[in-house]
Structure 1
């Protein structure tokens, strides 16, 4: 800053300096400027030490030197936020700086345009008011990296203390990650582990720890969940929902077993025996005159139970469960890959439904025992259970309905939105679309225009966003060593917000966890 007096020469006013710092000589700036102009070197004694050290270096570019350790950054740092009236800030429009990508949560990649790092954690998004729920819908063509970004999120969230859960691993591709996190993997299938549809799972071990009032509520929750799982299994195996008499008979048999053997867990065989006996406790609520009439009324239900116990599903869901899971485990996975290889679609759908119920019980058990934490669940091929039979959308929604109120963020993956529109009835299609529409965030990988048109019913894409997603789905050339153009590219789309195009990069240490083509090597 300069001060001029009438007839006086220009004078440099030095800045105020703390007492313990040396005052820069008044002519230092002038000497340094002159040196830069005509090449003269200023005397060493009149320049600060830091100026002497920097004097022999050329002036760096705006973003620093493009070399390791030189401080170069690919994007400008975020600026301080200022608020003003339209009249005050109108001269700044159009704004040339973006609003910035979220930088809290798990790093999932870099912004494809600004090169900013992008992070994702819908739980943290909820805390900061960016979303209203913690559901995430993940969709894209096969081979574009849906499972990869799912594992990245699970891995990163586990480092924040979030529990990781894969309720139904159909391909066994998440086992390595779960075991690497120190978690528990259970493989279901013939000759391996089996699961009892009526088993309360981890809740059985912590039921006695709950207060008496809470214990009564938990028993009702266990009963409702067990009956929903059994009803879903019977619906899948026979292809039609249960009628009112069958549902009532199933509930009466479950309650009667609990009164007879309160300390034991029932199995499907136990319920079958009670229904065949048709005692007075069963006949009276059904308004039947005798056991013969009750058996005639319940005959379709008896046949359905026999079909699971003796038909193609024999041995998979009969008897007590052969495994248990500690609610404090850092990660867990129910591996259905052996079951998928040797069973029909009905068995896979029933196993997936049972695994969802088990996962829900695991979350509840942790809360009852006082070990409170948040969870992330990865539902791969979410549509398979919903398409297993009429009415499965409602049952699946009841079994797996654990979200914001219980601290669980769900990642629901599917190849295409059309999977949910192919359900048998209009009612099921509407409910399935509703489940996806309630997700506050979508992660969209490469998709054709037809899929984007279908998705537009629940979320809006701008022309630029649609064009970018379509470009990722463009077929590559026939030249060798050419990967899918959309692999590792995603559009992070929170509802009613502008999408963030992300390119995901894998570190060398995590590549072995994401190799799903090992069978072809």
Structure 2
């Protein structure tokens, strides 16, 4: 009778079937064998029951199969298993959560950079690849981090990755020579090496009147137009491009001379002085003295203005030769000082090494300029950036008319604070590139220490323009920064509490240790750690740890402490040892 009652409760779903290895279980099994019809009825009822739970047939030494644990002393069986907590969020903030508890995206698009700090997944990315994939809307990045935390290493990895993708990285004004080694190490399958152009006292010259690659594109386009005319054909677009390029080169020449003159003088030039420079350059070309392919020197321009002519006298509305000489006296004196004096001989001769667009990478090294030569450094940076920007524009003009293959560039502006403060017009030049780099097929990397560097510019207009670089950047990369810097960026970027805690923790130095040996030296906590923020709407950032490949470690191309290597390694020169 007891087994029949048990069977009725099991059939109704009020109780579970006893385990077969118990006394009751064995008795119930024999009873089911004696009453097969009723046993089949019980099995059918259990299958149709809404409550399904099967007693585990066995248990392991590590726990029961059903996950509830063992019953008995020291077992801790959980009789009731609560459902997990449910929450609701938007797809923007909840993406990646289900089925992973930690929402940590790790894109694998572009140049391999390192691993995700939280999950260890590989992370890849660069501005052009992410722009192509639609991750960012503008192929540019603004990089902020305190010194010594690996900003340049992160940029050099993207530098190398750009070459691997067929892009041409250009460092227009390497102030500390940090990109020289990696540029020289780049070699194409055809044996073409990266180009390093060195400028400074005794290291080469730069003619500010040189048309550069943009000027050299003019005769190429004119030759193609002549071929078409010989076949009785015409190309109005090509003719328009030639005219526009000539005017662009002329404008660059005038702008560069005016900018250098203002650096020397310390005040803006008068409007008529810019007119004298423009009229002189145009008349020199019309008279056949020089051409875009064979530009004049500053000395030639000074001599032409000094001599004067009817066009210049009429343009200045001068009453005669004496009045003309009196009017241009200050301008001639200023231009003379560009060929020597504070500027030295850097701008006095023809450009020593021209930018080679066929090189896999281009680095203009200006580290030979002494830190105290502020005006010379400013002038060289202005000229370098104008030359590099002209080279990129020349490549696009030729590609538009099928005269050269389409090239894509990665412009790297490291130590941005020094570049922006180099002189009048530099902020506007960078501003132009940040607005037009999509049309120019150019990725842009802007690197500085903190946002305070941008606030230190000489006038309020330049400060507001420079702060706009962060707002317009397709992505922002933050290394270790102090808490005050995050407050400064709050108007542009939204950091979660966890992200802010990471970034400020990365700004700390290495733990204090009693030992001073190189073998046991620990790196700063934030070295190589960066937060990638591809969006400014509060979406989660991507914390990464930059990882170096075996080749990078073996070649040591990321070492920027060459001057301190002997000291850091703990070695002493024999002659310096104490007897």
CA displacement at 1:95 relative to structure 2: 7.7
Equivalent residues of 1:350, 1:385 under 8 A apart: no
Equivalent residues of 2:377, 2:422 under 8 A apart: no
CA distance in 2, matches of 1:228, 1:399: 16
Q: Say whether 1:360 aligns with 2:389.
A: yes
Q: Say whether 1:209 aligns with 2:220.
A: yes
Equivalent residues of 1:241, 1:390 under 8 A apart: no
1:458–1:283: structure 2 CA closer, same or farther, 3 Å change rule? farther
Q: Which residue of 2 aligns with 1:198?
A: 209
CA deviations over 1:336-358 (Å, ceiling 9, x no partner) = 111246x6011112111111112
CA distance in 2, matches of 1:487, 1:387: 28
**After superposition, where does 1:135-174 map in structure 2 within 5 Å?**
135-174=140-179
Q: Which residue of 2 aligns with 1:257?
A: 284
Equivalent residues of 2:299, 2:348 under 8 A apart: yes
1:457–1:307: structure 2 CA closer, same or farther, 3 Å change rule? farther
Report the more deviating stretch, 265-274 or 143-152.
Answer: 265-274
CA deviations over 1:87-114 (Å, ceiling 9, x no partner) = xx9xx98983526222100111111112
CA deviations over 1:343-376 (Å, ceiling 9, x no partner) = 6011112111111112112223323142212111
CA distance in 2, matches of 1:265, 1:134: 34
CA displacement at 1:395 relative to structure 2: 4.7
Q: Secondary structure at the match of 1:110?
A: strand
Q: Secondary structure at the match of 1:510?
A: helix
Q: Secondary structure at the match of 1:252?
A: helix
Q: Which residue of 1 aligns with 2:306?
A: 276
CA distance in 2, matches of 1:231, 1:401: 24
CA distance in 2, matches of 1:106, 1:445: 18
Q: Which residue of 1 aligns with 2:465?
A: 431
Equivalent residues of 1:390, 1:428 under 8 A apart: no
Q: Secondary structure at the match of 1:377?
A: strand
Q: Which residue of 2 aligns with 1:66?
A: none
CA displacement at 1:223 relative to structure 2: 1.3
CA displacement at 1:142 relative to structure 2: 0.8
CA distance in 1, matches of 2:347, 2:433: 17
CA distance in 2, matches of 1:212, 1:262: 21
Aligned partner (choices 95, 110, 121) of residue 105 of structure 1? 110
Q: Which residue of 2 aligns with 1:218?
A: 245
Q: Say whether 1:462 aligns with 2:496.
A: yes
CA displacement at 1:402 relative to structure 2: 5.6
Q: Say whether 1:177 aligns with 2:182.
A: yes
CA distance in 2, matches of 1:515, 1:289: 64
Q: Secondary structure at the match of 2:339?
A: helix
Equivalent residues of 1:360, 1:400 under 8 A apart: no
Equivalent residues of 1:236, 1:388 under 8 A apart: no
Q: Secondary structure at the match of 1:245?
A: helix
CA displacement at 1:278 relative to structure 2: 3.0
Aligned partner (choices 542, 555, 562) of residue 518 of structure 1? 562
Q: Say whether 1:234 aligns with 2:268.
A: no
CA displacement at 1:468 relative to structure 2: 1.1
1:288–1:473: structure 2 CA closer, same or farther, 3 Å change rule? same
Equivalent residues of 1:107, 1:118 under 8 A apart: yes
Q: Secondary structure at the match of 1:457?
A: coil
Q: Secondary structure at the match of 1:202?
A: helix
Q: Which residue of 2 aligns with 1:48?
A: none
Equivalent residues of 1:166, 1:377 under 8 A apart: yes
1:94–1:108: structure 2 CA closer, same or farther, 3 Å change rule? closer
Q: Say whether 1:291 aligns with 2:321.
A: yes
TM (norm. structure 2) is 0.71
Q: Secondary structure at the match of 1:404?
A: coil
Q: Which residue of 1 aligns with 2:120?
A: 115
Q: Which residue of 1 aligns with 2:230?
A: none
CA deviations over 1:24-68 (Å, ceiling 9, x no partner) = xxxxxxxxx99x999xxxxxxxxxxxxxxxxxxxxxxxxxxxxxx
Equivalent residues of 1:170, 1:340 under 8 A apart: no
Equivalent residues of 1:376, 1:408 under 8 A apart: yes
**After superposition, where does 1:243-392 map in structure 2 within 5 Å?**
243-260=270-287, 261-263=289-291, 264-340=294-370, 344-367=373-396, 368=398, 369-392=403-426
CA distance in 1, matches of 2:463, 2:59: 76
CA displacement at 1:400 relative to structure 2: 8.4
CA distance in 2, matches of 1:276, 1:151: 48
Equivalent residues of 2:215, 2:246 under 8 A apart: no
CA distance in 2, matches of 1:430, 1:363: 27
CA distance in 2, matches of 1:350, 1:112: 42
CA displacement at 1:275 relative to structure 2: 2.0
Q: Secondary structure at the match of 2:531?
A: strand
Q: Say whether 1:493 aligns with 2:520.
A: no
Q: Say whether 1:475 aligns with 2:509.
A: yes
1:155–1:399: structure 2 CA closer, same or farther, 3 Å change rule? closer
